[in-house]
Amino acid sequence: MTVLNSKIPAGPIAEKWSSHKAAIKVVSPANKRKLDIIVVGTGLAGGSAAASMAEMGYNVKAFCYQDSGRRAHSIAAQGGINAAKNYQNDNDSVHRLFYDTVKGGDYRAREANVHRLSEVSGEIIDQCVAQGVPFAREYGGTLSNRSFGGVLVSRTFYARGQTGQQLLLGCYASMNRMIGQGKIEMHERSELLDIVIIEGKARGIITRNLVTGEIERHSAHAVVLATGGYSNVFFLSTNAMGCNAGAAWQAYKNGACFANPCYVQIHPTCIPIHGEQQSKLTLMSESLRNDGRVWTPKKKEDAVKLQKGQITANDIAEEDRDFYLERRYPSYGNLVPRDVASRAAKERCDEGFGVNETGKAVYLDFKYSIERLGKDVIEARYGNLFQMYEKITAANPYELPMQIYPAIHYTMGGIWVDYNLMTNVPGLYAIGEANFSDHGANRLGASALMQGLADGYFVLPYTIGDYLADEIQVPRIDVNHQEFVKKEKAVTDRMTRLYNIKGTKTVDSFHKRLGNVMWENIGMARNEEGLKLAIKEIQAIRKDFYKDLRIPGDYDAMNIELEKAGRVEDFLDLGELMAYDALDRKESCGGHYREESTTEDGEAKRDDENFAYVSAWEYQGEGKAPKLNKEELVFENVKLTQRSYK
Amino acid sequence: MADKILKELTIKVWRQKNAKAQGKFETYKINNISTGTSFLEMLDILNEELINGGTEPIAFDHDCREGICGMCSLFINGRAHGPDDDITTCQLHMRMFSEGETITIEPWRAGAFPVIKDLIVDRTAFEKILQAGGYISVNTGGVPDGNAILISQDDAEEAMDAAACIGCGACVATCKNSSAMLFVSAKVSHLAKLPQGKVEAARRAKSMVAKMDEMGFGNCTNTGACEVECPKGISIGNIARLNREFLVAKIKD
Ligand SMILES: Cc1cc2nc3c(=O)[nH]c(=O)nc-3n(C[C@H](O)[C@H](O)[C@H](O)COP(=O)(O)OP(=O)(O)OC[C@H]3O[C@@H](n4cnc5c(N)ncnc54)[C@H](O)[C@@H]3O)c2cc1C
Ligand code: SF4
Ligand code: FES
């Protein structure tokens, strides 16, 4: 049985991180040179960790599946990054950011982690500015801020609609400096396929070179997973096409607990699905809700005419527009958190008020802000997003409101980690979206970038020292160790097994089938019956997958279908675990909405009495039901209340 | 806008097994493509058909499909990223093509970008240039408060204009000399525009230009083709700035 020790330091919340830092061990510069660290993933979390640890003197080996570290999915983040700088004098503070985040996460995150995140948030901005990230500035030269969903202050820093890109280029530049100095060994187009554990400690990884097909062994004193989220289990999502759960799944199979897998974030402002041939969904940044008003028609007749294409939004009179977020949530209005906004949109569309041909879209209207501020101001703020929207939909959002609909976007669940960001497997760490830690059941906008960079720049580089200080006597790990040989064989067996099925169906066809089951039953709303059905259906798809998968091309060369097959195999298993987790959690919270648990006025109903815990699932072997471990969540600093944005 | 269906298209595409193999064009037919479909989705559909028919799918690079990661490439009907302005291939939609059209697809062609397979090329030469100096030398921690470095709105905007480069390589692919000047100048300009980057601006310009030459990119002869095909509207004004930076650095030597 796994014992989950969260290692949360004792003492008052505001002092936990500093007293912990004072107590944990430090490795001397001379000894850092003797220690190797593997970092898998070069997004904001992995990139910042790799650069910082290399600067400190460790030998870092970094891996990503793309052709360049700078193309990690973090590059796509648009809206911004939060920090409690109070530059706007709107009474922001570390405590307020902490409070907003715990509340926004529906009280399912660890207080201590969130407080630390808030504490270091300010330093992140300083670090990024120093690297040359061109954040937006005021006329006087100071940094600019805007507001995001779920909060009443302006604490979001941004670089046009390309914040993730600029932050990533910043930390990638730092990585490049270290690659140039030989402190980081960079492996592009390499995919982690297994983790090597020697005498209970993570000591290396097995990768596939995606160009040559070669299986490679890499060793280190510690392994850090910064491999991002698993939204692509739904096939259609806002994530990049290659995003996967492979590394997290291997960690799970090697003994690491997988926490809160069912917590999935649905983003309210995505471009709606246009048809059968679609491969991914495109996000429109949440920052648009600062100036856009969300509405549907009040009258069903109008909705029907819109659906048939007989009229456009502009034909609907002012008094016939239902600004339903402003109506239902007067104090937050269009800036309610994502889960609330998404459910409200679904509710309107389910009632028949959807505005496009599929009936699955609502309006995000800039008419009012253009009248108030002028087109120039709106163009300066969101020009590239408007352009992107027009390229995809061929409609001009300056003239007609945007059509938006919720889509799968971010996964709050992930590998379980303690306060040091170490999994329950010694020497194996997980940071960024890959871990479960800071967001609870829902993530507020602009907080993922903050968490990735907090973990990578200011948390892991300290906490990993505590573990590595005891490893300085351990010589460089030999990749000829029998555990490496064993794991390499396991990977080869797995890949050849997939390759040799020689069936008739493509990888994508299985992925789409799985995605359908996931969206229908483990998507925006879940119920017991649907979840049980999903488990059965996923098992049936898996059976078919092993019988009828077809992978053309050569085995020992670049083979994109083989790459995808491995990822979909993991998604099938993960999808099933998500259903188990959702079944267990008989409450509604954040991104997890159980239809059986609602309040009288149709809002999600939490059950703190019975469910204030982290579900940490433990692998029990192939074909066996997973085991549930619970980490009870203790709230000493925020009072658990019904989350209201009214 | 209502989508239409393109009943039949002919796809002429470069197939090359690996870096060493000889490549050649193959021709395929594809039917019933909605004009609301993206170009890469069209290729996905074609690939599904190829696999179902027992043929290996066409390999191409892509990831974000949002026009930001810079991974997608493709020379389409003689243009980098195809027949539309200011976009990447993943943002190109089939409404830009017409019924019965023949679409020719090739990989980026440049000596410094060798073909890996089919339409995928190796762009690591760009990374090598960045590793030579495309950064501000600052360690994590120990930096001043963000507002301690005041930057005028115009400078921040100009730096951002240059920093918007996604490293896709369209500029190289479209240049008759396969020059990487637009890419390098965007990087150099971004950092040189900011006070934090000024300190090592001269060193940066010199080492990045030297690396660019070493990696086998051609010379810039100011034809301006790069700017036309750049999906992010990176201006050749940056090249002038790079030249200035480079000259100043040389004079200082
Ligand atoms: C469209 C979009 C917009 C967003 N906008 C915002 C925003 O405005 N603000 C905000 O705070 N958040 C935003 N987010 C969320 C945020 O971008 C992500 O949560 C965050 O960037 C994740 O960073 P990461 O470093 O954890 O992972 P990623 O950036 O996803 O990096 C994962 C890395 O792991 C590598 N990898 C994965 N699997 C393997 C494997 N098996 N082997 C080898 N390498 C592997 C990849 O190559 C990659 O380098 C947005 C997300 C999306 C999709
Ligand atoms: S300058 Fe433009 S074309 Fe060249 S790599 Fe950058 S974004 Fe691509
Ligand atoms: S796939 Fe990322 S820019 Fe096209």
Of the residues B50, B130, B200, B204, the best mutation for testing chain A's interface (the one with the most A CB atoms within 10 Å of its CB) is: B130
Domain of residue B227: give its range: 124-252
CATH topology of domain A267-407: Flavocytochrome C3; Chain A, domain 1 (3.90.700)
Nearest-neighbour CA in chain A from B174: distance (Å): 20
Give the pLDDT confidence score for residue A1 in this predicted structure.
Answer: 59
The 3-state DSSP class for residue A600 equals coil
The Cα–Cα gap between A135 and A144 comes to: 8
The Cα–Cα gap between B248 and A452 comes to: 39
Are residues B235 and B149 part of one domain?
A: yes
Q: Is the CB of A72 under 6 A from ligand 1?
A: yes
Are residues B134 and B67 part of one domain?
A: no
Are residues B154 and B59 part of one domain?
A: no
Fold identical between A13-263+412-470 and A482-609? Answer: no
% of residues, chain A, pLDDT over 90: 90
Could you please report the per-residue DSSP string of A563-589? HHHHHHHHHHHHHHHHHHHHHH--S-B
A542 classed as catalytic: no
Burial classification of residue B243, based on how many CB atoms lie within 10 Å of its CB (0-12 exposed, 13-18 middle, 19 or more buried): middle
- Under 8 Å between Cβ of A63 and A187: yes
Are residues B112 and B130 part of one domain?
A: no
Nearest-neighbour CA in chain A from B91: distance (Å): 7
| Nearest Cα to Cα of residue B242 among B195, B204, B200, B199 | B204
Are residues B113 and B185 part of one domain?
A: no
Domain CATH for B225: 1.10.1060.10
Of the residues B40, B56, B66, the best mutation for testing chain A's interface (the one with the most A CB atoms within 10 Å of its CB) is: B66
Q: What are the mean pLDDT values of chain B's consecutive 10-residue runs (253 residues total)?
A: 88 97 98 95 97 96 96 98 95 96 98 98 98 97 96 96 98 97 97 95 95 96 94 96 87 78
Q: Is the CB of B119 under 6 A from ligand 3?
A: no
If you average pLDDT over every residue of chain A, what do you get?
A: 95
Give the pLDDT confidence score for residue A643 in this predicted structure.
Answer: 80
| Cα nearest neighbour of A78 on chain B | B68
Are residues B248 and B170 part of one domain?
A: yes
Paired with B113 in beta bridges are B110
Residue spans of the domains in chain A: they are: 13-263+412-470, 267-407, 482-609
Q: Is the CB of B109 under 6 A from ligand 3?
A: no
Domain end point (choices B65, B99, B117): B117
Q: Are strands B5-15 and B24-34 parallel, antiparallel or unpaired?
A: antiparallel
Q: How many C-beta neighbours within 10 Å does residue A561 have?
A: 21
Are residues B97 and B138 part of one domain?
A: no
**H-helix segments, A80-131:** 94-104, 111-131
Lowest mean pLDDT among A245-259, A277-291, B31-45, B114-128: A277-291
- H/E element, A409: strand A402-411
- Under 8 Å between Cβ of A431 and A37: no
Are residues B195 and B131 part of one domain?
A: yes
Domain end point (choices B69, B100, B117): B117
Are residues B246 and B130 part of one domain?
A: yes
Q: Is the CB of B115 under 6 A from ligand 2?
A: no
Q: Chain A residues with CB inside 8 Å of B164's CB?
A: 160, 162, 165
The answer to whether residue A374 neighbours chain B at the CB level (below 8 Å) is no
The Cα–Cα gap between A326 and B153 comes to: 34
Q: Can you state the percent helix, strand and coil of chain A, rounding each to 5? A: 40, 15, 40
The Cα–Cα gap between A280 and A277 comes to: 10
The answer to whether residue A52 neighbours chain B at the CB level (below 8 Å) is yes
Where in A581-641 does DSSP place strands (E)? Answer: 613-618, 627-632
Are residues B157 and B108 part of one domain?
A: no
Domain end point (choices B117, B151, B174): B117
Higher pLDDT, B248 or A37: A37
Residues 466-505 of A with CB under 8 A from B: 504
Record: contact B160-A160, CB cut-off 8 A: yes
| Nearest Cα to Cα of residue A262 among A539, A611, A565 | A611
Distance A160 CA to ligand 1 centre (A): 19
The Cα–Cα gap between A102 and A610 comes to: 18
Give the pLDDT confidence score for residue A24 in this predicted structure.
Answer: 96
Looking at residues A149-175, what average pLDDT do you find? 93
The number of distinct structural domains making up chain B is 2
Catalytic residue among A108, A328, A338, A542: A338
Q: Chain B residues with CB inside 8 Å of A176's CB?
A: 127, 130-131, 134-135
What's domain A13-263+412-470's architecture?
3-Layer(bba) Sandwich (3.50)
Q: Is the CB of A42 under 6 A from ligand 1?
A: yes
Q: What is the pLDDT of residues A480-505, one digit of tens each?
A: 999 999 999 999 999 999 999 999 99
Query: Residues near B41 by Cβ (< 8 Å), separated by ≥ 6?
Result: A277, A278, A279
Domain CATH for B65: 3.10.20.30
Paired with A282 in beta bridges are none
Q: Are strands B102-106 and B115-117 parallel, antiparallel or unpaired?
A: unpaired
Q: Is the pLDDT of residue A384 over 90?
A: no
CATH topology of domain A482-609: Methane Monooxygenase Hydroxylase; Chain G, domain 1 (1.20.58)
Lowest mean pLDDT among A149-158, A198-207, A217-226: A149-158
